[in-house]
Structures are given as C-alpha cells and as structure tokens.
Amino acid sequence: MKHWGQLAAIALLFLSLSGCATFQKVFGSLGGKDNVDQPMELVDFTPSAKVIRLWEHDAGKGTGRLIRNLQVGLDGERAYLVDARGKLTALQRDTGRKIWSHDLKLNASSGPVVQDGYLLIGGMDGELVLLDAATGEEQWRNELSSEVLSLPVIDGDRVIARAQDGRVFGFDLRSGHRIWVYDTSVPLLSLRGNGSPLALAGTVVLGFDDGKLVALRSEDGVPLWEETLSVPRGKTELERLVDIDGQMALIATDLYVAGFQGNAAAIQLTTGQFLWKKPMSSIAGLTAGRKHLAVSAADGKLLLLDRATGETRWSLDKLLHRELTAPAFQQGAIVVGDKLGYLHWVDEDSGQFIARVRLGSSKIEKNIIQDRGVLFVLNGDGKAAAYQLER
C-alpha cells in the first residue's frame, strides 16, 4: 500500500464507518503497529526564550481511548474545563483558582465553547448543552442524531452544531428548539472526527469528509455556496480519504483551510471564490496570524505560509510523526503540541526552535488557545495549564 509516511500521521486516530457505531484504530486497518512510523527523536537546542507556567489544574478524567474535542474555554477573566465525565469547572483565568464546578451528567465529547455569555458542550450520545457562563446554570439540552465531536458555534440567535453522521443542526439560542437540519452523505470510510463550523455575520461554513466546503445561512440552513477543496484520488479507500477535519481560520471575510491528502486554500467567504490553492495534507489544520498561516502537516512538518499568496516561507521537519496539534501564535513564535506531551515554540521568522516544555506524558489535545499573550492547553490526562513566553 502506498503513502505510508502520510497515513502514519493518522495513528491513534480512528476510522469511522458511515451508519455504524463501530470504529477501528488505524493501527489495525493498516496491518499492525509495525507499519506506523515512530515519532522522530527530539533534537537538542539552546533555548532563546523562557516559558513561564502561570498555573496548572487537574480537570478530572482525561479523554481516555476515545477521540474527543475537549479544550480550555475562555471568557473575559474566566477559563472553563470539562472532563470526559461531564465535570464542568470555572477557573480564574490568571491564577487557575477554582470558582465553581458542576456535574453535567454527560459523557462530554466537545467543548467547552464560550461565546456571548454562554457555554456550549457536546456529548458522545448526541447531546448539546447550553449553559450560562457566569453561573454554569443549564439553559437547555437537546439531542442531535449522533455524537458531537466538532465544536458548536453561536451566530446571532442560532446555535449551529454538527453530528458525526454528517448532519448539521440549527437551534434557537433562547429556547433550544431545532429550527433547521442540513443533511449530507458521509463516505464509507473517513477519519474519526469532524471539522468545526466557523460563523460570521449570518453565514456558517463547514468542511466535510468528502473534501467539500459548504456555506449555509445561519438563520435557516439554506446553502449559499459549495466548493470542492480536494478530490479523492487513488484505488483504495485509505488513499481516497480527503477529510476536512482540522482547524480553519477566518480573518475578515477570508477563510483559510487545509484538508487531508488534498489542498490548503484561501477562500472568499461571501462568494466561495478561491483566492489561492496549493497541495497540502493536514489533519489538525492551521491558524492565521497577521501576515502568515501556520500549518501542521499530516506527516508532522510545520509550515509557515504567506497569507496573501500561499507561498511557503519555511518548513520544519524536526517533529515528524509526532501527531502535532493545530498551531497557535504567541509572542512572535508558533506553538504546537505533540502526542508525547511536549509543547514546542518555533520562531516565526527563522523557523528555529526557541523553547520546549512538557505537560505530562499524554498527548496535547488538538485545540491549544492563545489569548492576550497567554497559551492555554489541555492534555489527554485532563491536565490543563497556562503559559507565558518571555523572549
């Protein structure tokens, strides 16, 4: 079978069968653990920046063996954590001191998303829960058609959430009543997980497992445009995987996206017109800075692209097969986490390592968040931390 190096980046992810509740590890699908490329050994370097840990907090039960989409949620002076068993905790953003905690009685799979004074959390059994961000009081709870692995989003008076089976739901923000459903077919074989929707001023855009991008009107779910980011190629189902599961970025009305075994692109959100497109393979996705895009490639390369043209500024190949998170920008550096619990800071200009720390031995969850110069991370054991960078 071809493309071993590229497909090895899927290790520890799952493949999902459409319409089934059974998932296979990629190890088994590829014929055994021996076929998976081992993580590259870390290179020594002299740190030129200092990482300061502001706080560390045990969020509870980690993600376990199932892939989830849990993260640190931020709202003003508070940070929020939810563990796999539904323990929701509010912390002081700057100190990590606990303010309150609630038991949601939920097998949590995504979130918390914090927006417009609300918390949104998805569940493995298809639940979507909206809570008051100040008190943690539940406002409503509704059910989708299958587990919620993507991060929900609020746009105006609509809550948009996506289920694993390909359906997208629009709920009324105040009442929780379902207003619309957008249904799309799911390939027989796909990466375990879903891309999260992005919304702006009445438009919500989603990437799907067949390599297509769709923009919907948030109010009623009416499609506004559909474009193909990547076309499936190859003879086997594995070779034809073109999922858009990773983090996307939205700057003004320009959408930036990278898919698996396909392309990265810049797209005009209002029209769906491509501004540029280039070959790329990414599972975790990308993030956008003032001038650049940082992309975590499927094989473990870290790339810096020009936002306006897509031209590659530099490519770092010292983290191959370490299953990198989507990147974040911090103090002129790009930060990624890996599956062995390390966080790596790379200088944006030179592409050289400047700092490294380790948050335990378990993987860094894929959504690392930078806010007001502070980096917030969560690992697979449920440990959260906040870091500053001094240069």
Domain of 372, CATH number, reads 2.130.10.10
The total domain count for the chain is 1
Q: pLDDT for 31-64, tens place per residue?
A: 334 457 899 999 999 999 999 999 999 988 777 6
> Looking at 16-25, 112-121, 133-142, 225-234, which range is the least confident one?
16-25
Does residue 10 sit in helix, strand or coil? helix
State the average pLDDT over residues 293-309: 98
User: What pLDDT, on a 0 to 100 scale, did the predictor assign at position 325?
Assistant: 97
Counting Cα atoms < 13 Å in the Cβ hemisphere of 185 gives 4
> For the chain, how many residues are written?
391
Q: pLDDT for 212-231, tens place per residue?
A: 999 999 999 999 999 999 99
| Rounded distance between C-alpha atoms, residue 135 and residue 140, angstroms | 14
Counting Cα atoms < 13 Å in the Cβ hemisphere of 230 gives 29
Q: Is the pTM of this model over 0.75?
A: yes
Q: Name beta bridge partners: 353.
A: 346
100: region left, alpha or beta (phi > 0 left; psi from -120 to 50 alpha): beta
Range of the structural domain that residue 235 is part of: 4-390
Query: Could you identify the residue written with the tokens 């390592």?
Result: 353
| Rounded distance between C-alpha atoms, residue 259 and residue 278, angstroms | 11
Phi, psi of 9 (to 5 degrees): -65, -10
Q: How far is CA 232 from CA 239, 244, 304, in A?
A: 8, 12, 25
Residue type, 315: S
